[in-house]
Amino acid sequence: MTNASRRRGGRERDLAINAEINITSLIDVAFTLLVIFIITAPMLQGGLEVQLPRGQIQPITAQDDAFIVSVDETGTVYVGETPVSPDEFVEAFPQLFRAAGAQAIYVKGDQAAIYGDMYFILATVARTAQEEGVRWALIGEPEPVRR
């Protein structure tokens, strides 16, 4: 009797050792993570999606510590993605900004937003930025290049 048959208890019909790796589950996990990243990537942008007005503007560099305020076409104010009334915004914005510890304030206003609604928001942001010694900017959509 050979050594191999003694180790197997004399059974010659045992299955051979399979040295293949089944990567199906690994591929499933990889595709699941890919789908999750594809779905969540647009959400990392920050703020609310609004129709920005077009103009001759220079691009700004994105900062991780920026505070984004958005105003939609109905005049609803959003701090990040949280809706607040304009009156609440005027009262609470300075405290919210201080608590966030941000270094810049960006205002995104829908092109159909009413000027009066935007004016209260801009005045509050400008006053807070001046008091805190930080910069603020309006976000717009650059005009297409004409050739």
Note whether 102 and 59 are same-domain residues. yes
Residue 14 makes CB contacts below 8 A (sequence gap 6+) with 8
Please tell me the predicted confidence (pLDDT) of residue 32. Answer: 92
Overall domain count for the chain: 2
- Span 64-106, pLDDT tens digits: 677 888 888 888 888 888 888 888 888 888 888 888 888 888 8
Reference 141, options 51, 44, 42, 47; nearest CA is 51
Residue 1 included in any domain: no
CA dist 77 and 82 (Å) reads 8
Do residues 51 and 110 both lie within one domain?
A: yes
Both 84 and 38 in one domain: the answer is no
Residue 112's domain spans which residues? 46-142
Asked whether the beta carbons of 141 and 110 are under 8 A apart, the reply is: no
Examine residue 111 and state whether it is found in any structural domain, yes or no: yes
Same domain, 81 and 101: yes
> Quick check: 8 pLDDT over 60?
no
pLDDT single digits (tens) 110-129: 888 888 878 888 899 999 88
